[in-house]
Structure 1
């Protein structure tokens, strides 16, 4: 099965204190003390933030651009990547649910980040209810 390649345009970037995968928590809001960060959208996408308020959660779709795309099995080979939330996968599209702490123009202050600093953000979605 082959498909045509396509491109995703990042809508912004996430700013976090994490420089390496060893620094980052395994799960954002699932940890004891969720880490704080900022999502900064490109100016063209700022109107898309209308309706997002402090206290809400948002699903952040981001690219693990430093992930190893050749890895198909993790946890010492016992699990395939599609049965995990590992960032190492053929298309390293990741989802993290974050809590919005504040909205300031095109910047969202959030908690629950587990991304590396500078990771590209490709979409924001309201979480499933």
Structure 2
């Protein structure tokens, strides 16, 4: 009986050890290949055209263990480039800033999804 209890304890602790605690994912900025960009936090439509290659900055609020959201603009699915941790005043990690690269962008809605759940889809990219 002790062996079964220990076995269940080990299984359940390893299952829940890497649980992600994501509170929100937000699209912060969009940039073209030359580095010109804009803040898209409180806008519905971008001011500039971003046809071709562009980059998006996403803020992931919470703790994610190697789980990356999927970012798409219209039919263009972004590929993950890098991330940078974000800390508060007391040097506690509160989130990450993720950078995605999009190829062949035409126009469309910028969608940020994680496990088929939409977190942000309010900005229309020209």
TM-score when normalising by structure 2: 0.32
TM-score when normalising by structure 1: 0.32
Q: Which has the higher contact order (CA 8 A, sep 6+)?
A: 1
Task: Please state which structure has a larger fraction of its residues in strand.
Answer: 2
Larger-gyration structure (1/2): 2
